Structures are given as C-alpha cells and as structure tokens.
Amino acid sequence: MPSLSPPSPASPSPLPYDAVVTALRAAGCVFAEDEARLILAAARTPDELTAMVDRRVTGVPLELVVGWAEFRGLRIAVEPGVFVPRRRTEFLVEQAVAAAPDASVVVDLCCGSGAVGAALAAALGSPGPVELHAADIDPAAVRCARRNVAPYDGRVHTGDLFEALPDSLRGRVGILAANVPYVPSDEVGLLPAEARDHEPRVALDGGPDGLDVLRRVAAGAHQWLAPGGCLLIETSERQAPTALEAFTDSGLSARLVVSEELHANVVIGRGRDR
C-alpha cells in the first residue's frame, strides 16, 4: 500500500487523496475515487485514515468502514455485524408510501439497521402523526436501529417476527414493511465476500428456497394490518411467482411491482376483505 504517513507538523499538507485512491484501486474497489473522498471525510486523524483504508482494502464494506450508509437521502448508522441497507430497497419504501400515503402506524419487520422504518417515517412526515415500530431478532441490529429511528420517536423491539411486537398494534398497522432474508441457504456461500463475511447470516439466509421467512410474515400479516393496510416484502425476480403464491395462500390479494433500474422486486399484499 502507498505510504499514508501523516505530514510533518512543520509542513502541513492535505490528506493524501491520490495515495488512498491508489490503495483502493489496487484492492479492486471499482469506485475508488468516490470511496476515497468518503473515507477522507470520515477520518479524524492520519492514524484513523490509515486504519480505515486498511480495513477497506481487506474487504470490509465501505459502509462499515465509514460507519454509515446513504438510504433515500438519509445517513443511516451501520455497525459491524449489522446488515447494510441496499439501494434497491429504496424501491420498497417508495412503493409503500404510494400504496398507503396516509398510514399512521408503520412497522419495519426484520429491520436490520432500521433504514426502511426511518425512511418511511421521514417520507410520511414523522415525528407527528406516524407511530413507528421496528423489530429484529438480532440484538446488534436492534441497538443500531434504535439510533436510526430515534429522530422519528420510533420504538424498536427484540424478537422473532410478530412475537416481538406489542399486542396493541394488532389490526392497526397501515404499512408493514419486511425486508426479510431471501437468499436460499445453499447460495449464501456464493454471495460477494462483503456480504457473506461481514453481515449476519440470519439477515441473508431465507431457508432452502429463500422464502421461509417471507411465508411466515405473509401468514401472520392479516392479524396486524389495519383496514386498507398493506404488507410489502422484497424478493428476487426468480422467486417472485412463488412469493406471490405465498401471499395469496395466506389470504392476501397480491401484486408484484418491479424496478428495472434498481433490479428490485416487491410483492404488495392487502387483506381481500379490505
């Protein structure tokens, strides 16, 4: 790696942008220039800069290096061991707001960092009329999510799917967003190293066909949705037909929305009697 030693106190100079770019390029970072700017902005000292570049060139995701990820214009705090929100999931938020623009109760299930809940609250105008809840089975995710939903007076619960939620939410949820794990178990090892080595398996592994958690959420959603409320779950193009079937088997009317630009597929369900 090019030298990143701090400048002499007698001859102050800018932080070594070119050296950082060279190091990141050598490590295979496609967007080395952009990443260098973010790392340089986040580093508070030359020693911290060196440590951050070292972490990035060894494969640590950029978001975990700098401590945050951008999501729908928000700066979402992320920590080691917590799923990093993907840009394609912004499409789920967009579709949720379009499907239920007047929702007053929002639940972010399998919340990870809480990015979806925070983005929904921001889009719907919270703090104020929106009551925001998030839940995850992973205590590390819960701790991280609490930081991100705090500006929206959100509450984060620890537990397995609906078991984590307070009973007072039954029949009141206008938007139930669930960014569930949907990678088939035998394909987790094929994921990019940034995901398989640095993100929790519980946030990635969706069971034999990738849809185990989706089916459980779809099956229980009707107890929690308010009249007119909707369930939204991200899935893959390959899994979409089976995901739609899981929704309809659970008594939900379902439709698929797709963003070609973001390579995003979201199934939206509503109670058939609503």
Residue 250 has pLDDT above 50, yes or no: yes
246 token code pair? 């899981």
Could you read off the pLDDT of 101-112 as tens digits, one per residue?
A: 999 999 999 999
Q: Mean pLDDT, to the nearest integer, of 119-123? A: 96
CA dihedral 3, 193, 35, 203 (to 10 degrees): -140
Full-prediction pTM beyond 0.85? yes
Order of strands across the sheet with 252-259? 155-158, 131-136, 105-109, 173-178, 225-235, 264-271, 252-259
**Other beta carbons less than 10 A from residue 129's beta carbon:** 11
Say whether pLDDT at 193 is over 90: no
Report pLDDT for 155: 97
Mean pLDDT (whole number) for 34-62: 91
pLDDT-above-90 percentage for the chain: 75
Nearest to 65 by CA among 27, 36, 22: 36
| Digit-coded pLDDT (tens) for 206-237 | 999 999 999 999 999 999 999 999 999 999 99
Give the residue among 206, 205, 209 at the shortest CA–CA distance from 241.
209
**Short-list 4, 38, 6, CA closest to 18:** 4
State the CB neighbour count (10 A cutoff) for residue 264. 22
Q: Does residue 253 carry a pLDDT above 80?
A: yes
Q: Is the pLDDT of residue 89 over 70?
A: yes
Q: What is the pLDDT of residue 205?
A: 84
Output the pLDDT for position 4: 45
Average pLDDT score, the chain: 90
